[in-house]
Amino acid sequence: MKVYKIDYLVQKDVVLKDAFLEVGKDGKIIGIQKEYNGDYEHLRGLVLPGFQNAHSHCFQYAMAGMAELHSTTNEPDDFWSWRDSMYKIALQISPEQLESVAMMLYSEMLRMGYTEVAEFHYLHHDKDGKTYSNLSEMGERLMSAAQKTGIKITLIPIFYQKGGFGKEAAEGQRRFLSSDSENYLKLVDASRKSAEKFSKAKVVKGIHSLRAVDEKGLQNVLNTKEKDLPLHIHISEQLKEVEECKSFYGARPVQWLLDNFEVDSNYHLVHATHLAESEIQGIANSGANVVLCPSTEGNLGDGIFPLRAFQEMGGKWSIGTDSHIGLQFMEELRLLDYGQRLISHKRNTFYSKQQGNPGFYGLSQAICNGRKAMGVQSSNFFEIGHDFDAVVVDMVHPLLFMSNPELKLATNLYSMDQTSIKEVYVAGERVITNGMHHQMDAIWMDFAKTLKELSFRA
């Protein structure tokens, strides 16, 4: 057992000063108390719960920044043109290179305070679109990278079948495809067998989008989804997608999903950017969660999620970094808040009817619903019986040091960046020390070698 004395321990609606937290050999919390007589380690600073990254496409990290050179003509550059560039990269990466990219990405996530990642994984097959002898070869590489770096991973092998509503898949999508739900479920089973090799990995199901799976496939997977396990799906990210869904199914994507399936609190709807008012209310009423990725949604020009209306209806959301053009957790929360301020012309946008402190509100949504995206239920940030996953924020900056406990969280959210993160713990193990991952040099060198081999950044 190890005991930590913590200067400021952040719980869901309170900051505890000088708390003692006991952690067992298995990394789980066994006690939280105000007094302790015995030896302890002092964690100096503001201790936050580990962050959840509820939506990741690992391989896209290798192209971060590459799609930012724009033509000076009037040729449109939008999500769909960006997607063509992404496909070119997806067709090049080998299993070994994917693991190298994942090692770099996951070590950076840890440095930014993320202790768990939901990997929305659809890069399944070899460069010719053929299955590997190990069906889950690519997914196993991601789980291996997570284990080596120390981050928890929820691998989501994605069912990807079509090239659009009623369209056959394009050549650039050949590495993603399962011909039908039966073959997809074989991939899930293989992935779960692979996950048995790793202590920090689990596997859940996901659908790429309504446009990427036919109706029979959707029914076979969604109507047989596993009780109490999350299911992830992209939906309503693009206006073109909404219009094509209306033409093909006769309804907007979210409305069609709500009308045809028993959507509940285990659903995690990624982006859900473009919603009619009835759809906003429908998601909130169903208890489904929305996964928002502000930096990627901004980078791709997706649009701004109607958070203000959604939160007034009691909606639940979490945070992901998607294409990883940005990785800072607090920056994602700020972008989400400031987008609402810009379209509402008001400042009081990041709160709920129960919580007016935006620091507590933002963390509560992102942490508790982020954990649900990984299949973990929680009612507080640090709980007995749960892993000790924590981010230690250095309070050396006068703005943070001089703030009272209630202000520390808001000050950290709006005025600090990742350089304030001193240490990160995952299941009781310290994986970041003085802002650095302990394997950083080796990971960095291997990643640079991989990018040189891929040559698309030269």
pLDDT of 452 strictly over 90: yes
Let me know if residue 155 belongs to a domain. Answer: yes
Whole-angstrom distance, CA of residue 85 vs CA of residue 95: 20
pLDDT of 353 strictly over 90: no
The predicted model gives 58-67 an average pLDDT of 90
**What pLDDT shows up at residue 85?**
78
The predicted model gives 122-129 an average pLDDT of 97
**What pLDDT shows up at residue 391?**
98
Domain count, the chain: 1
Residue 452 makes CB contacts below 8 A (sequence gap 6+) with 458
Let me know if residue 71 belongs to a domain. Answer: yes
Let me know if residue 137 belongs to a domain. Answer: yes
Let me know if residue 46 belongs to a domain. Answer: no
- Contact between 217 and 210 under an 8 Å Cβ cutoff? The reply is no
Own/partner pairs for 336-340, CB < 8 Å, 24+ apart?
336/292, 336/294, 336/305, 336/307, 336/362, 337/362, 339/294, 339/298, 339/304, 339/305, 339/307, 340/304, 340/307, 340/308
Whole-angstrom distance, CA of residue 301 vs CA of residue 238: 9
The predicted model gives 389-414 an average pLDDT of 94
Let me know if residue 70 belongs to a domain. Answer: yes
The one-character DSSP state at 211 is: G
pTM, to two decimals: 0.96
Closest CA to 29 of 1, 10, 52: 1
The one-character DSSP state at 457 is: T
- Asked if 271 is an active-site residue, the reply is yes
pLDDT of 256 strictly over 90: yes
Let me know if residue 96 belongs to a domain. Answer: no
Kindly report the three-state secondary structure assignment for every residue of 82-137. HHHHHHHHHCCCCHHHHHHHHHHHHHHHHHCCEEEEEEEECCCCCCCCCCCCCCCH
- Give the distance from CA 324 to its chain's centroid: 10
Whole-angstrom distance, CA of residue 167 vs CA of residue 180: 14
**What pLDDT shows up at residue 406?**
84
The percentage of the chain sitting over the pLDDT mark of 70, rounded to a whole number, equals 99
Evaluate the CA torsion angle 262, 264, 268, 270 in order and state its sign: positive
> If you average pLDDT over every residue of the chain, what do you get?
95
Q: Which two tokens stand for residue 42?
A: 């002092």
Let me know if residue 37 belongs to a domain. Answer: no
The percentage of the chain sitting over the pLDDT mark of 90, rounded to a whole number, equals 90
Whole-angstrom distance, CA of residue 122 vs CA of residue 136: 11
Whole-angstrom distance, CA of residue 340 vs CA of residue 334: 10
260 three-class SS: helix
Residue 325 makes CB contacts below 8 A (sequence gap 6+) with 64, 65, 295, 296, 299
Tens of pLDDT, residues 266-287: 999 999 999 999 999 999 999 9
pLDDT of 97 strictly over 90: yes
Range of the domain at 144: 51-82+125-373
Let me know if residue 210 belongs to a domain. Answer: yes
CATH number of the domain bearing residue 323:
3.20.20.140
Task: Give 117: exposed, middle or buried? Use CB within 10 Å, 0-12, 13-18, 19+.
Answer: buried
Q: Which two tokens stand for residue 314?
A: 């009691």
**What pLDDT shows up at residue 369?**
98
Whole-angstrom distance, CA of residue 195 vs CA of residue 354: 39
Residue 166: count other Cβ atoms within 10 Å of its Cβ: 13
Query: Which of the following is catalytic: 124, 125, 232, 322?
Result: 322
- Asked if 322 is an active-site residue, the reply is yes
* CB half-sphere exposure, 205, CA atoms < 13 A: 24
**What pLDDT shows up at residue 417?**
92
The band of 243, judged by pLDDT with boundaries at 50, 70 and 90, is very high
Tens of pLDDT, residues 416-442: 999 999 999 999 999 999 999 999 999
| Longest pairwise C-alpha distance within the chain | 71
E-state strands within 174-301: 201-203, 205-207, 231-235, 267-271, 289-292
The predicted model gives 342-370 an average pLDDT of 93
| H/E run at residue 19 | strand 15-23
Query: Which of the following is catalytic: 121, 208, 268, 271?
Result: 271
Q: Which two tokens stand for residue 214?
A: 């036919």
Tens of pLDDT, residues 151-206: 999 999 999 999 999 999 999 999 999 999 999 999 999 999 999 999 999 999 99
**How do strand 316-319 and strand 390-393 relate by DSSP bridges?**
unpaired
Whole-angstrom distance, CA of residue 147 vs CA of residue 3: 25
Closest CA to 150 of 454, 423, 455: 423
Q: In what order do the strands lie in the sheet with 29-33?
A: 29-33, 15-23, 2-10, 41-49, 390-393, 421-426, 429-433, 436-437
| H/E run at residue 66 | none
- Of 36-45, 78-87, 172-181, 189-198, which gets the smallest average pLDDT? 78-87
Whole-angstrom distance, CA of residue 322 vs CA of residue 297: 9
**How do strand 2-10 and strand 201-203 relate by DSSP bridges?**
unpaired
| H/E run at residue 433 | strand 429-433
**What pLDDT shows up at residue 261?**
97
